[in-house]
Every structure is written in C-alpha cells, then in structure tokens.
Chains A and B, each alone.
Chain A
Amino acid sequence: MTFGGNGQLPSLGGRAMTPGTDQANVALDICDLSVVYRTPAGDVRAVDGVNLALHSGEVVGLAGESGSGKSTLAYGACRLLRAPALITNGSVHYQGRRSAEPVEILQLRREQLRRLRWREIAIVFQSAMNALNPVLNVRDQMLDVIYAHLKISKRDAAEKVGSLLDLVGIPRTRLRSYPHELSGGMRQRVMIAMALATDPEVVIMDEPTTALDVVVQRDILAQIVELKERLGFSILFITHDLSLLLELADRIAVMYAGQLVEIGTAEQIHHEPSHPYTKGLLNSFPSLRGPRRELAGIPGSPPDLHRPPPGCRFLPRCPYGTQACARIDMRLSPVSTSADRGHVTACPFVLPDTPVAPRSQVLGLTSTDERGTTKVPSQEPPENPPSGYVPGDVAERVLVDGSPPDSLDGSHLAALDVEPSRGELGT
C-alpha cells in the first residue's frame, strides 16, 4: 500500500517534514499514513502514504477539493474513523508540552485514547449547524465536555464555561440558549469555545467557516488567530479555500486524490507554486483585488480512488502532463528553485538535482507558465526526463517499495482516461 507514498527512497530527500526545523518541536507527526474505505467494489484509498508534521504553535493549512481525503487524514490521525474506514499503514506521534514522552496514537489503548482526545487534540467539526446537540443548551453541552475530561468542581466548571464564552465573544446571557436560537456564526464560536474548553495542544479545524459569510468568517478567523497567539496551541486547518489559507496559515499542504502534492510556506505556495494542481487551485479563485485575471479552474474531476491512475494521479487533468508522468512514482521532494528545502512538491520535474530548466521548457510548453521562467537560467530542454527520475515501469517501481498493489496491472496504464466519478469518499 505504499505505492505513491512519499519519501520511500532516501535519495529523494526523505520525509516530507520540513527539514531543518527543530524535531523536538513537533506536536503532531503523521508518518506514512494510509487509510482505505472498504467497499464491496474494492478498497478506496482515501489517504495514501501521507507524511505531515505540525509544529507547536504553528498553523498548517490542508487544502484540496472535496473527496481529496483532507478530513479522512485528520480524522484518521485521531482515530476517529469508523468502519468501513481502515487505517492500513503508518504512525502518528503526538508530543505534548505537558507529557514527557511522545505517544503513538495508533497504538494507544481505548482509555489512553479517550484521555488524549480533547485534552490534547481537539476538533472543531465541519458544519457547526449539525455538530451541536439540539436538545441541550450551550451551557450543558459545554459542561459535558468539561466533566468528561477534567477533574473540576461544579463551581469552577460553571465559571470556566462563562469564561470560554467570553473568550469567543458571546455574551454570557446566551448560556441557556439552545443551538437553534443562535446564528450560524455564534454556533461556530460555541464549537470553537468547546474545542478550547480543555486547553488542548492541537486543534484540528475542519472547514470551520465554510458555511458562513465573509464578514463573519473574517471575524472568527481573526479570533482564532488571536486565541492561538494567547494560548499557544497549534492548528491544522482544513479547507478548500486556498486563498483563505494563504492569509492564515504558516505552512500549507495541498492534497489531491489521497496524497499530498505540495507543502510550503504560504509565501512559497502563493508566489512559486510548484505543482500543477496547486497552480490550478490558485487559479480557481476570482480575486477581488488587482487586475481581472483570466481564470481557468481545473477541468475534469478527481480520479476514482478505487483504482487510482498509475503514476501521477493528477495526470488526467494536468495541462503539463506527458507520457512519462504515468510511469513515475510521484513523491514529495524539495523544489529545486527554492532555497528552502521545506518547500516540497510531488511533481518530479522540479527535482533538486535536476539541471535547472524551467518546467515549461522541459515539457515543451509555451512560456505562459510563469513559475521559474524568470528565476532560472534558460537552457536546452533535456531530451530525457530529468535526473532523479528513476526509469522503469510502475510494476518495477512498486516492487522496489515492497508490496505490489493488486490493482496496478497493465490495464490501468491504458485506462488513463479516468471516468469522472466522485462522492465515494465523503468529506
């Protein structure tokens, strides 16, 4: 199940984690995590060999279309998934400031896990409309959380609920309100307050503002950032809105069809996106400021993860794709044109040791591809794929990694024209 995974070969730069950063500072370290959904039609590989590290105090954004596996990755890392989901591979290490030893979340026993959840890692779920209990008032459901996870007296708990509401800017008069009496923005704030009730180290936010309008969204995000600064937790922020992440996140991981395709700081993702999918996402947003750009979007739909296409999963939709892409095992490796080795991409035409040629030339494109063309000395396009690209067909490559996945027979090499099929994954 490691096909398409990241960083299997040491020569390719190893782990997807930001090199050079303090290893001890990592709060949540997801290693080679794979999650499948067991269905009668076969396994849906919703998360496939993902490496992602969240440092303490950091905001990491996870971006991608619906069905790309963002939520599955986050829930999988917390073991919140239920059958038919199955974690098939990987490890998730958590190191809190309060605990001396790092723990392996995937190995924890039930009771240990119960204590870890919410106390150390809290989640703000998607759609606050449905995540709150409609028959309990705000105070009672917050008390529930506090009693379940903290040893605390009744009076202190009541006081804590009050101060949590202060924290997110809801008047205490709303304590006895039921969810339906609150506006969408207020419900979302209650969700955030509940997540913070036990002073967690890591907060996973799954599309916390998607259903809200921009003014309220901005208000809540500003509040989240302010709280983060004050309380020092780290955030894994899941959203499909890349433009929002650019403003909010320190680092951004872009996910496509169950794999990470690019990780970089917000600046890097914004100014030098290195994966065609990231470029496509960036080009999907009408911008309000600046000149009107020609917008493209990304034609096509994500592949059916029952049988993902071999090689690059983005190939069927990629404007720069070549025949070679179907035979390359895409792994994250540092972007050659970037000084920071923490900026990694899965598109192999920007490997570190590649003779630096603009990818537009490598792929025989016109110069409309803006990345790199100004930064890199122009050079004859190499006739062969760049060095670092390991030739050999998929079967060989997979054998190098270990187990040959059954679904990768030759028929899929021909069937690159992936049938548009979505919705198996849910979000």
Chain B
Amino acid sequence: MSTVPLWAQLINLLAAVLLLLAFAMLAQRRVLTLIDLFAAQGLALACSTAIVAYATGQPHLFWSAGLTLVLKVGVLPWLLHRLIRQLDVRWDVEGLINIPTTMLIGIVLVVFAFNLAYPISQLANTITRATLGIAMASVMLSFLMMITRRKAVPQVIGFLSMENGLFFAATSATYGMPLVVELGIALDVLVGMLILGVFFFQIREQFDSLDLKHLERLREDDGTVQ
C-alpha cells in the first residue's frame, strides 16, 4: 500500500462513504432522515474537495469546497427542513418498488457504472481517478431514487443528490471545473431550490398534498404516451 499516498486513500474512503450514503438514501423511508443523509453527503463532498485542493495545491478548489459546505450542508438542508415544517408533512416515504428490490437494482447499476467509467479512469492522470466510477454510480443511484419515489420532496432530494454525484465526478476526474462555471452551477441549484419551494406551496394549495399521484391527469386520454 506504500505506493498510494495518504491523500488518495482518504479520498477513496470518502468516495466509499458517498456511495454508502447514496445507498442509505435509497433505503430510507423517513423524509427528515433523508435530508440529514443529504447533508452528510454534502459534507463528504466538501471534505474530499478540500483534500484534493490541499494535495494538489489548487486554490480555486478551496473556494468550491467552501461553496459546497455552505450550500449543501448549510443552506439547502435548512431550506428543506423549513419547508417540511411549514408544510407540516412528516410522512413516511412510500416507494413504487419495495426496498430490497430497489437495492438489488442499485447494485446492478453500480456494476454498470464501474464498467462505463473504466476506460476513462485509465486515461485520467489525477490522483483521484479511481473514484470516477463511484461518482457515476452515485449519479445513477440518485436517478433510481427519483424514479422510485412518488412524493415531491424525496424526488427533489434525489435530484440534489444527483448534483452531488456530478460535482464529485468533476473534482475526481478533473480537479474541478473553472470557477466561473462552478459559481454558475451553484447559483442555478440555489435558484432552482427556491423555485421548488414556491412550487411545493402551489401544489399543496391545489391538492392538499404533495403526493405526485395527483399529478397524473395529463395522460393517455389526451393522447400522451407515458
């Protein structure tokens, strides 16, 4: 193991934590815990970005680590908690498929993601190249979570966690995007979250619930193919 520097080992560890958290989110039924898991994922992401920044001496990555910390561990979970409190919806989450099946599909997805990422990892000369597969896997797991959840809030958490996976891919494969792009992405995520907040209230005002089964009117009778 002497060939692998400590930094790389730490990043690999955090990558594993990220994947584990993605699975935990997939299995979690309670929406409040889901938010905490999302915050934990953000923390792991911020730590790994900071380590890459320190190990490679890329000062702009410190900025993006700080941005991740503020946005994904602080602001977004706080906004989500506030929303849940205001909307008073602390229900348990019902999936479309039962949880063991979802987990099995998740494992298949991880294998697929590793296969997909393998040729690219070979080309990467960054210290963190082994983690590209994990990043791709957590993107796919978040995708799966969005597909299998019926309620609006878990879908959004899935969406945000997908953004986490993408950020991790950016740091692990390329040491981060140019700062101006990262700022733009962060702005989009924040604005998107605020719009969703407004949106939740609109949905609830209209249906007295955030269950997406109410949002299934535009269907075959209109000629749409689902």
Q: Do A and B bind each other?
A: no
Residues of B near any A CB (own CB < 8 A): none
Residues of A near any B CB (own CB < 8 A): none
